[in-house]
Structure 1
Amino acid sequence: MVLAVKKIILGMVAVAVIGIVALIVAPSEKAPNTEIYHARLADPKLYQDGIFTDSFHVKGGSYEFRFVPNGDSPQLLSITLNGPSFSFSEDYELEGTAHDTGISEYYTWKYLGDNTVEVAEEQELQITINPHGNTMGPVSVYLVE
C-alpha cells in the first residue's frame, strides 16, 4: 500500500516536471503590440524641408499605427510607407474630444484615419511623415505588430 502511494506521488511529480520543461522549451508567441517602429517628432530639426523621413526593416505581417498626440500636435499628419513591394499612404486628422467632470474640463486627442497596414513580405520600408507645416507640434508615431 505504501509503495503504491509512493508510485502515485512520484508519477505526479514526473508529470509536473515534464509540464514545466515543456512550457520552458515550447516556442513562445510574440507579445501583442510589439513596437516595430517609433518616431518622436518634437523638434523642427528632425524635419528636412518640413518632411520627416526614415527607414526601417519589417517582416511580413499585420501592423497598426498608434499615435501619442496632444492639442499642439499637427492637425493633419500624412504618413507614407514605401518598399520594394509595398506602398501605403494615409492622411490622419487630429480630433479633440472634450470631457467635462463637473469640476473641470479636459480634452483627449486622437488621429482619425486607416491605422491598419498589411505587409506581404519582409523588406526595408521608408517612412515619410508630413505635418503640413506644423513642425513645432509634438507627436509620437508608432508602428506596432
Structure 2
Amino acid sequence: MKKKLILGSIIAMTAIVFISSVLLISTDKKEITKIFHVRLADPKLYEDGVFSDTFFIKNGTYKFRFVSSGDSPKVLTVTLKGNSFLFSEDFKLNGILMEPGTYYTWKYIGQDKIEIQDEQNMQIIINPHGNILGPVSVFLEK
C-alpha cells in the first residue's frame, strides 16, 4: 500500500511540474520581425567611408540591435531619412568586463528605439568614422 502511495505521489508531482513548466512558457511573446540587416565587415560595402541603403518601412515601433566585437567601430552614427521622418544617433561601443579580467562583452549605447508614424521608403546611412575594417552587424527590428 505504501509503494502505491509513493508511486502515485511521484506521478502527481511529475505531472504538476510538467504542467507548471508548460504554463510558465510564455505564448504571448511578440514575434520579432527583421526590417533591415547589414553585416559591415568589408571595406567594399562603403562608399566614401559610409554605408548607405534604402528599404520600405511601415508605421510602428522599431528597435536597433547590434552584433559587435572589440574591433567594431568605437562610434557608429546611424541616420534614417524618410519623407516624414529623420533620425540620427551616435552609438558608442561600450566594453563590459565579465568574470573579472577574463573577457569583455560589447554593446552599443544610444537611443535604440524609434517610432515611425507613416509607412515610407527609408534611407539608412551608417558612418563608422573611419573604421571600415571593424566588423559590426546592424539590425532594425519591429
Cα RMSD (Å): 1.5
Map of 1:77 onto structure 2:
76
Q: How far 1:33 moved relative to its partner? A: 1.8
Map of 1:62 onto structure 2:
61
For residues 19-51 of structure 1, give each alpha carbon's deviation from its aligned partner in whole angstroms, at most 9, with x where no partner exists.
xxxxxxxxxx99422111001000000000100
- 2 CA distance for matches of 1:45 and 1:105? 34
Q: Where do residues 126-145 of structure 1 align in structure 2 (5 Å cutoff)? A: 126-145=123-142
Post-superposition, which runs of at least 4 consecutive aligned residues in structure 1 deviate over 3 A? Answer: none
Map of 1:123 onto structure 2:
120
Q: Where do residues 89-104 of structure 1 align in structure 2 (5 Å cutoff)? A: 89-100=88-99
TM-score (norm 1): 0.76
Structure 2 unaligned residues grouped into runs of 5+ = 1-27
Larger of the two Rg values belongs to structure: 1
* Matched residue SS, 1:114: coil
* Matched residue SS, 1:71: coil
Identity of aligned residues (%): 56
Structure 1 unaligned residues grouped into runs of 5+ = 1-28
- The number of aligned residues is 115
